[in-house]
Amino acid sequence: MKSCRYHNHPFFVSATMTVLLLLSGCGDSGPSRSEAAEALDNLAAQVAGMIGTKPTQKVDVRDLKCTKVSDGIYDCQVLARLNGAEVTDRYKFSKLGGRWSAMHIN
C-alpha cells in the first residue's frame, strides 16, 4: 500500500488544522447576527398577527452578546436598529429544527 507523501508537509498540516478549527466553530454556538435578526423578524410578525397589525420593518442587529443557558438555548443582549432607533434588549434564543426562534425576556 502506497502512503501519501504529502501528509507530513507543513502546508498540508496547516490546512488540515485550519479546516478542523473552522468546523469546531460550527457546533454549539449561539445565533449569528443575521440568524438573530431573522428570529426577531419572525417574533415581530407573530406579535403583529396577534394584535392585528402589520409587522414593522426588518430588524438590523448591530451587536449580540450571548450566554449559553443550556443545549441550544442562549440568553442574549441584543443591540438592534428598528424604525430608525437603536434599542438594547434581552432575548432568549432557542434552536429547533435548524432554525432560531426568539422570546423577549422581561
DSSP characters for 17-70?
A: HHHHHHHHTTSS----HHHHHHHHHHHHHHHHHHHT----SPPEEEEEEEEEEE
One digit per residue, the tens of pLDDT, for the chain of length 106 reads: 554 554 454 443 344 333 333 333 445 689 999 999 999 999 999 988 888 888 778 899 999 999 999 999 999 999 999 888 999 999 999 998 999 999 999 7
Whether pTM > 0.75 for this model: the answer is no
Residues 66-93 pLDDT 10s? 999 999 999 999 999 988 899 999 999 9
